[in-house]
């Protein structure tokens, strides 16, 4: 059964899940039926510890019609957590022509039944001191320790016979994987082409800048990027203002008229009138101190003061020049 269906099934309650699986099976042709042997994806075996046997292992059947017989594991069937063996029960199965294998020339085939790995026991070959080989069947196996397997290219658990942990049952050798045209040889893949000289210095050039590691032609803006408000956003955020009523408009008009009717600059006539009145008053002042004060604050006082100072300065300069001339003449008279 397809993975997406099992993923969907996982979310359902068990009773409903079983019902649904049986219904799905009924709608399928016999060749594609699961016969209720669907294992949910999270319960499927993925590690060798779970399988206990791998492809190529020799096993003894402990249950079923083949009980007591020895066989070989031909493959694993992960979707049902079962294994294919070389001596297995078969069941006739009608295969539609679209699914025929190479060399098949009839609709009916004998399809081998799978066996649970719990129903078989691993057979190990041991060697006596005198060199003769003998087989043992492990009642139970346990896994202790790990090693890196060159053929599997990964860490594998060490399989031991339970209660006889010194007896190690080695994993069968897998079929060597064939390299295709696009495969990279391990020497090339493992070759170290770059090594940092210093952890303090960055080797990238100083002018190297990158704004973002994200795709620049991404369809939508990245959620956490800083965004600025555009004109359209502001339009959508601002509500219209309440229009002014007739009363308010009239009030604004009235205020405008008041503002316009107010005098901000003095006309020449008014200025003349005020000036004449002030001058008349000042001319009639008799107190000498007040007269002096008025003179002092009047605009012409400062000009007159400056003119007087200028005159005094010119007079002083003239005196200095005459004194210099006199000194020069006296010097010449002394020299001659």
Number of residues that bind another protein (CB under 8 A): 22
Whichever of 15 and 230 has its CB closer to another protein, that residue is 230
Minimum CB separation of residue 241 from another protein in Å reads 6
CA pair distance 118, 36, nearest whole angstrom: 18
Q: How far is CA 302 from the centre of its chain?
A: 78
Applying CB under 8 A, among 180, 234, 263, 268 the residue interacting with another protein is 234
241 touches another protein (CB under 8 A): yes
Pair of tokens at residue 216: 């620049």
**Binding of residue 230 to another protein (CB under 8 A):** yes
Of the candidates 213, 217, 242, 263, which one interacts with another protein according to CB under 8 A? Answer: 242
Report yes or no: 20 and 8 within 8 Å, Cβ to Cβ.
no
Q: Computed over its alpha carbons, how large is the radius of gyration of the chain?
A: 56
Among the listed residues 46, 50, 183, 227, the single contact to another protein using CB under 8 A: 227
Tokens 């087989």 -> residue:
135
Q: Give 113's contacts (C-beta < 8 A, 6+ positions apart).
A: 88, 89, 90, 91
| 240 touches another protein by CB under 8 A | yes
| Maximal C-alpha separation, the chain | 160
Q: From the list 2, 228, 263, 333, which residue makes contact with another protein (rule: CB under 8 A)?
A: 228
Distance, CA of 295 to CA of 110 (rounded, Å): 137
Q: Of these, 98, 132, 184, 235, which contacts another protein (CB under 8 A)?
A: 235
Query: Cβ distance 85 to 120 under 8 Å?
Result: yes
Does the protein bind another protein through residue 236 (CB under 8 A)? yes
Per CB under 8 A, the list member of 118, 151, 179, 233 interacting with another protein is: 233
Among 248, 257, 276, 314, binds another protein (CB under 8 A): 248
Report if residue 220 touches another protein, rule: CB under 8 A. Answer: no
Give the Cα separation of 179 and 129 in Å (integer). 41
Binding residues for another protein (CB under 8 A):
226-231, 233-248
């Amino acid at each position: 059964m397809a993975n997406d269906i099992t993923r969907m099934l996982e979310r359902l309650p068990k009773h409903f899940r079983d019902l649904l699986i049986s219904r799905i099976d009924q709608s399928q042709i016999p060749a594609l039926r699961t016969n209720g042997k669907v294992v949910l994806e999270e319960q499927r075996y993925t590690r060798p510890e779970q399988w206990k046997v791998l492809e190529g292992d020799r096993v003894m059947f402990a249950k079923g019609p083949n009980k007591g017989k020895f066989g070989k594991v031909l493959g694993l069937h992960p979707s049902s957590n079962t294994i294919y063996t070389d001596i297995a029960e078969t069941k006739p199965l009608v295969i539609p022509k679209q699914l025929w294998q190479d060399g098949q020339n009839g609709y009916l085939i004998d399809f081998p039944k799978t066996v649970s790995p719990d129903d078989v026991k691993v057979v190990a070959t041991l060697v006596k001191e005198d060199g003769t080989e003998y087989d043992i069947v492990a009642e139970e196996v346990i896994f202790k320790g790990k090693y890196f397997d060159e053929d599997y290219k990964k860490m594998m658990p060490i399989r031991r016979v339970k209660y006889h942990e010194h007896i190690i049952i080695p994993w069968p050798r897998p079929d060597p994987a064939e390299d295709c045209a696009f495969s990279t040889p391990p020497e090339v893949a493992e070759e170290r082409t770059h090594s940092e000289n210093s952890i303090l210095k960055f080797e990238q050039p100083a002018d190297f800048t990158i704004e973002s590691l994200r795709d620049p032609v991404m369809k939508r803006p990245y959620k956490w990027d800083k965004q600025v408000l555009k004109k359209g956003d502001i339009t959508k955020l601002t509500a219209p203002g309440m229009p002014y009523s007739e009363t308010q408009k009239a009030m604004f008009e009235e205020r405008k008229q008041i503002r316009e009717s107010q005098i901000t600059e003095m006309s020449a006539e008014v200025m003349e009138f005020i000036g004449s009145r002030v001058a008349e008053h000042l001319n009639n002042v008799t107190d000498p101190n007040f007269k002096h004060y008025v003179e002092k604050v009047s605009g012409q006082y400062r000009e007159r003061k400056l003119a007087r100072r200028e005159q005094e300065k010119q007079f002083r300069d003239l005196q200095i020049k005459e004194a210099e001339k006199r000194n020069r003449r006296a010097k010449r008279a002394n020299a001659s």
